[in-house]
Amino acid sequence: MAKTILIVDDSASLRQVVRIALEGAGYEVLEAGDGVQGLAQLQAAPRVHLIISDVNMPNMDGITFLKNIKQLPNYKFTPVIMLTTESGDEMKQEGRAAGAKAWVVKPFQPQQLLAAVAKLVLP
């Protein structure tokens, strides 16, 4: 059974690039345009194995989204990769403190993202 990954980013074109890379590697993909939609997807989905989230989004930013995920009993231990233009140490520390397991800076190579995903999603 394929593992399911939720992509949360306000850029439709970026979600498409990530979707193509992930589906090419055999993952099932769900999408959301911001943290509010991401939480709705998590509540509607039977199981999400990994979340990839941007930091800067309208309605609910990625750090707030991450903090909300960690409050959900079914997703408390679900790994989250932050995929963002933010590369500052302070923002990375805030992300890690909120529960992010990896930080990938845009622009990125799909192989770089797939390597991070493979480390966090057990077969």
42 in a domain, yes or no? Answer: yes
pLDDT tens for 1-53 read 799 999 999 999 999 999 999 999 999 999 999 999 999 999 998 899 999 99
The boundaries of the domain holding residue 27 are 4-110
68 in a domain, yes or no? Answer: yes
Say what the pLDDT of residue 45 is. 84
Q: Quote the pTM value.
A: 0.95
121 in a domain, yes or no? Answer: no
- CATH number, domain of 100, equals 3.40.50.2300
Cα–Cα distance for residue pair 42/110, rounded to 1 Å: 24
Cα–Cα distance for residue pair 37/83, rounded to 1 Å: 17
123 in a domain, yes or no? Answer: no
Give φ, ψ of 30 to 5 degrees: -115, 155
Answer yes or no: is pLDDT of 87 > 90.
no
122 in a domain, yes or no? Answer: no
Q: How many domains does the chain have?
A: 1
Question: Among residues 54, 59, 68, which one has the least CA distance to residue 105?
Answer: 54
